[in-house]
A and B are shown apart, each in its own frame.
Chain A
Amino acid sequence: MRLLALFCAGLATFAMALGYAGQSLWAGAGICGAIGLLWLAGHWRGWDWAADPCLAGWVGMAAFGAWHKVGAGWMLGGLVAALAAWDLAHFAERLRGAGLVLQRAELTRTHLRQLASILGAGLLLGSIALGVRIDLTFGWALLIGALAIVGVSGLIRYGGGR
């Protein structure tokens, strides 16, 4: 499972670095590589905490790349791979910390199936969204922004309560 997470992390690093390299933004490619190296170090040293900053870093780099008109497809693909790596790393940690795991193969199979379908749906929606153009007025943008702030703070509170 950890190897699969490492593979996904490699894929995320490769996709984003390639996107930046395509636009000759070598610093961006280097940062993506550094995040990948941090993941690799976490894999070797058993740093379970490394997955969270790596995901945040990849998402940040994807957003930065999209802002600088680096290939959005590479960024989207890299982000989906990063999400998969983050999820699988946590799943591996969960299995490791559980002590005895009954039906390990079935649990893993079910998780991978569900993850693949959800990430596939996310990738599909993201790809469709990249091709859609909606013009928003300043008022709508402000409203959506306010809703996003309220929604995110509510979600954080909700998640903390659960």
Chain B
Amino acid sequence: MQRWSLLSILVGGLVLLGLGTVRGEILALALPLLVYAGVALLKQPQAPQLSATRAFSAERVESGTPVIVHLSIVNMGARPATVLLEDLIPQRLALLEGQARMLTVLAPGASVELTYTVAGGRGVHQFPGVQASAEDMFGLFRVSALLPAAGQIFIVPQVIRLRRAEIRPRRTHVYAGQIPARQGGPGIEFYGLREYQPGDPTRWINARATARNPQTLFVNEYEQERVADVGLILDARRQSDVRTRDGALFEYSIQAAAALADTFLHRGNRVGLLMYGRSLDWTLPGYGKVQRERILRALARAETGDLPVLEKLDYLPTRLFPARSQIVLISPLLSHDLEMLASLRARGYQVLVISPDPISFEQRGLAAQAETATAMRIARLERALLLQRCRRNGITVLDWPIDVPFQQVAEAALSRPPIGLIGREGGL
């Protein structure tokens, strides 16, 4: 019950009881309560006339990095104000240090500073403003106002750069990079032999081959290394996501997407990102740090969705990806995804699937029971079969048990294949 209501009922009750019993003593008892309530009523609070300005130690940080929020509030009114100030912190941010609430007396023109530290997961966190509440001297009446002090923190996913992430798309650009281009020329890896042509460096001459054919000079040819187009597809379908008390499997997909985008861009490639699920959220391909930031911001905003038309991968807009380029799908994979992946492969794309393991993720939150073990076994068999079918279709699959760091799994699986396998179609 509100304090004012309680006080009113007690005063009314005493007055009525005094009149009903015709006892003046009872009426006299109501007087202290009446005086108390009357003074509170007469000295009601007025809406505080304050202005607030906000500043952050950083407006764009990586997930988990603390951000210091500074808030300065000035009393613009002509009277002193006793106010309770509460900065409304976005729900997904956690207060690490300091206080976001303050009770203070502000003289006219005086200012007060509120400083605290927050941290949180990826996303755009918007601060709506400061709630300023003024109360009368006994706290019976309250007037609240929302002071506009807008601000936002952009928290991008944490990025782990991979030391090795070798891919072999069928088509590369003309610019020098780090992806073997299946063409002879200057490079590092041995590619083949050809006849000497004027202008070739003499250190390329292959002495043994020339000795076997004294009439001709042979030179070594190396495989050119160039940059390529990489299309990252992030599976944001709700049906492929797994949510437990510990969080969502989708966060691991985000982590993998951020790491791969950063790694490929760092190596000079042109990278685009398509988020498939809630909508078709397409980040146009680009190079360099600006593109890295674009992709990280897109990933920061990423959410799963269940748009019926995007339940299957059938509507994947393949025209967005240049022909014969590298496609990296980050998805736990559903059984009906195989057809589309095989279709992509048939159209000449090099397809790499990074698949966070949904079974091991879900198992962590389940009690160890015989039924659970059996169900897990069946699910594992089904998944193993699906992944095997993918591999048979020439798709490279990286099965990521989420207990192991992504960096470790990816670097082991995406290291450059041995030289003898490089020429094969099925290689990365």
> Which one of B5, B27, B140 lies within 8 Å of A156 (CB-CB)?
B5
A98 touches B84 (CB 8 A): yes
| A141 cross-chain contacts in B, Cβ below 8 A | 19, 22
Docked complex Cα distance between A55 and B17 (Å): 17
Q: Is B6 an interface residue (CB 8 A)?
A: yes
Quick one: which of B20, B25, B101 contacts A66, CB cutoff 8 A?
Answer: B25
B56 at the interface (CB under 8 A from A): no
Contact of B12 among A66, A75, A121, A152 (CB under 8 A): A152
**B8 with A106: CB separation less than 8 A:** no
Closest Cβ of chain B to A16, distance in Å, is 11
User: Does chain A have a CB within 8 A of B378?
Assistant: no
Q: Judging by beta carbons under 8 Å apart, are B101 and A100 in contact?
A: yes
Chain A interfacial residues counted at CB < 8 A: 57
Interface centre among A63, A144, A145 (most CB of B within 10 A): A63
Chain B residue, CB-CB nearest to A51: B3
Q: Which of A55, A99, A110 contacts B99 (CB 8 A)?
A: A99
The listed residue (B6, B24, B101) touching A55 by CB distance below 8 A is B6
Selected interface stretch from B33-41, B198-206, B245-253 = B33-41
Give B130-145 interface residues, CB cut-off 8 Å to A.
Answer: 135, 137-143
Q: Is A118 an interface residue (CB 8 A)?
A: yes
Are A122 and B140 within 8 A (Cβ)? no
Whether A99 contacts B29 in the complex (CB less than 8 A), given A56-B10, A90-B3, comes out as no
CB pair A159–B5 under 8 Å, yes or no, is: yes
A144–B233 Cα gap in the complex (Å)? 78
**How many residues does chain B have at the interface if contact means C-beta atoms less than 8 Å apart?**
57
Measured between beta carbons, the chain B residues less than 8 angstroms from A94 are 84, 103, 135, 139
- A132 CA to B27 CA, complexed, in Å: 11
Q: Distance in Å from the Cβ of A28 to the closest Cβ of chain B?
A: 15
Q: Are B28 and A130 in contact (CB under 8 A)?
A: yes
B16 touches A149 (CB 8 A): yes
- Is A59's CB within 8 Å of the partner chain B? yes
Residues A100 and B99 in contact in the complex (CB < 8 Å), given A133-B24, A155-B4, A159-B2: yes
Contact B17 A100 (CB under 8 A): no
Q: How far is the CA of A46 from the CA of B68 in the complex (A)?
A: 33
- Measured CB to CB, the closest approach of chain B to A72, in angstroms, equals 4
A145 near B19 (CB under 8 angstroms)?
Answer: yes
**Does A107 make an interface contact (CB < 8 A)?**
yes
A6 proximal to B (CB < 8 A):
no
**Among candidates A87, A91, A99, residue contacting B100 with C-beta atoms closer than 8 Å:** A99
**Complex: A79 Cα to B10 Cα, angstroms:** 12
Question: A123 at the A/B interface (Cβ < 8 Å)?
Answer: yes
Contact of A83 among B36, B86, B139 (CB under 8 A): B36
Rounded to whole Å, the gap between the CB of A148 and the closest CB of chain B is: 4
Task: Judge whether A126 and B112 touch: CB under 8 Å.
Answer: no
> Which chain A positions have C-beta within 8 A of B207?
none
Given pairs A100-B103, A129-B24, 11 additional interface contacts (CB within 8 A): A63-B29, A67-B17, A79-B32, A83-B33, A87-B138, A94-B84, A99-B102, A102-B104, A106-B105, A159-B8, A159-B141
Residue numbers of A with Cβ under 8 A of B are 52, 55-56, 59, 62-63, 66-67, 72, 75-76, 79-80, 83, 87, 90-91, 94-95, 97-103, 106-107, 110-111, 114-115, 118-119, 121-123, 125-126, 129-130, 132-134, 136, 141, 144-145, 148-149, 151-152, 155-156, 159-160, 162
B residues touching A (Cβ–Cβ < 8 Å)?
A: 1-6, 8-17, 19-29, 31-37, 39, 44, 82, 84, 86, 98-105, 112, 114, 135, 137-143
